[in-house]
């Protein structure tokens, strides 16, 4: 309602989960996608990646209750150009849409780009050595999925998942599942 009330804005669609959002993108072709970080099926970061892959010109604004630099960093790495906190006013969301449509990044207060840059430098020193596939396996393993389920979801063999999991543990100097989960929580890879 907030966006439809704004002159020059038209809401072309809504979705209740990430899968529906990704499927709707192709035929609705929005200029901007506003997506929640937390969704009932796949997370908003994955939706953002998939949306940009299917519709390269779409601008993504993440809507989140998390003001943690790790979430903000992940959102921008996933292709978002705006990050709005749910605790922000409606004016911040409208401001974000106006900025990102012109290609300018937006962070709602109290977030700032200096803190994000500091976090990015630290983060790349610790987990930047993981490949995208290793990061996916880490995320799913930290959510409690076993190797067969991860393999099925990523269309890989169980042996390949085992190999990725072993690489993750070695690269991050982790010893077991508990440490893997702690790492994933500390780096906002899971909730």
Predicted local distance difference test score (pLDDT) of residue 93: 92
Strand-strand pairing, 106-107 and 80-85: parallel
Could you give the angle at which helices 147-154 and 158-171 cross, rounded to 10 degrees? 110
Both structure tokens of 71: 């979430």
Q: CB within 8 A of 108, min separation 6: which ones?
A: 83, 84, 85, 88, 92, 93, 96
Buried b (16+ CB within 10 A) or exposed e, 169-183: beebebeeeeebbeb
**What pTM was computed for the model?**
0.64
Residue with token string 């390949």: 160
Q: Which of 16, 15, 36, 39 is nearest to 26 (CA)?
A: 15
In whole angstroms, what is the distance from residue 97 CA to residue 33 CA?
Answer: 9
CB atoms within 10 A of CB 7: 4
How far is C-alpha 123 from the geometric centre of its chain's CA atoms?
15
Both structure tokens of 75: 């959102």
List residues bridging with 82 in a β-sheet: 61, 106
In whole angstroms, what is the distance from residue 11 CA to residue 32 CA?
Answer: 10
pLDDT in 10s for each residue of the chain, 191 residues: 888 888 888 899 999 888 899 889 888 999 999 999 888 788 888 899 999 999 999 999 999 988 877 778 788 888 899 999 999 888 999 999 999 998 889 988 887 766 566 555 545 545 557 888 888 899 899 999 999 999 999 998 888 899 888 888 888 888 888 888 888 887 777 76
How far is C-alpha 3 from the geometric centre of its chain's CA atoms?
22
């Amino acid at each position: 309602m907030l966006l439809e009330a704004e002159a020059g804005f038209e809401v072309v669609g809504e979705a209740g989960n990430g899968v529906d959002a990704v499927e709707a993108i192709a035929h609705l072709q929005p200029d901007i996608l506003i997506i929640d970080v937390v969704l009932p099926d796949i997370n908003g970061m994955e939706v953002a990646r998939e949306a940009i892959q299917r519709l390269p010109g779409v601008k993504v604004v993440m809507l989140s209750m998390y003001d943690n630099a790790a979430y903000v960093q992940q959102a921008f790495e996933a292709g978002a150009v705006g990050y709005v906190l749910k605790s922000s006013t409606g004016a911040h969301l409208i401001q974000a849409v106006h900025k990102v449509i012109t290609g300018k990044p937006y962070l709602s207060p109290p977030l700032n780009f200096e803190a994000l840059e500091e976090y990015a430098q630290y983060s790349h020193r610790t987990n930047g050595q993981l490949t995208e596939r290793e990061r996916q396996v880490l995320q799913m393993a930290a959510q409690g999925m076993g190797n067969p389920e991860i393999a099925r979801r990523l269309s890989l063999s169980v042996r390949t998942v085992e190999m990725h999991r072993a690489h993750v543990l070695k690269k991050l100097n982790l010893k077991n599942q508990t440490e893997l989960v702690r790492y994933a929580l500390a780096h906002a890879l899971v909730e």
